[in-house]
Amino acid sequence: MKKGKLLNSEISSVISQMGHTDSLTIGDCGLPIPKDVKRIDLALKYGVPSFLDTLDTVLEELCVEEIIIAEEIKEAAEQMYKEILNRFENVKVTVVKHEEFKVMTKDSHTVIRTGECTPYSNIILKSGVVF
């Protein structure tokens, strides 16, 4: 059995396949997922699993050099915005309009759907290097 916290075999496999600058999206339960992008649907019910629990677990395994979030989160979900920024103090943060964000998900290796219901709780993680 794995020693790490990430038990989901699909997510573990995706992270191990990612190279420098590849992207992984974690989204709330309402984020549209492009048809041609791999989907890992974790949503069990509203709020489960949460966006932050999913993000924190992924961050245990993935080196991130840049994040992309929607600018609308600043007003619609200020506390979630702060929670996200607290996790990425030394990482480039790019803020775009939500419509542009949705287009950008088409370039993601995978989109992970959570049960989160907080508006605009979506993030694109750009993979970094560990050296």
CA dihedral 105, 108, 114, 116 (to 10 degrees): -40
Query: What does the alpha-carbon distance between residue 60 and residue 30 come to, in Å, rounded to a whole number?
Result: 25
How many structural domains comprise the chain?
Answer: 1
- Other CB atoms within 10 Å distance of the CB of residue 5: 10
The DSSP code for 20 is T
Q: Is residue 3 part of a domain?
A: no
Percent of the chain with pLDDT over 70: 99
- Other CB atoms within 10 Å distance of the CB of residue 53: 14
The answer to whether 120 is annotated as binding is yes
The DSSP code for 15 is H
pLDDT by residue (tens digit) across 29-67?
Answer: 999 999 999 999 999 999 999 999 999 999 999 999 999
Q: Is residue 2 part of a domain?
A: no
The answer to whether 109 is annotated as binding is no
Q: Is residue 1 part of a domain?
A: no
- 0.95 exceeded by the pTM? yes
Please identify every residue annotated as catalytic: 20
Q: Is residue 36 part of a domain?
A: yes
pLDDT by residue (tens digit) across 65-77?
Answer: 999 999 999 999 9
The answer to whether 122 is annotated as binding is yes
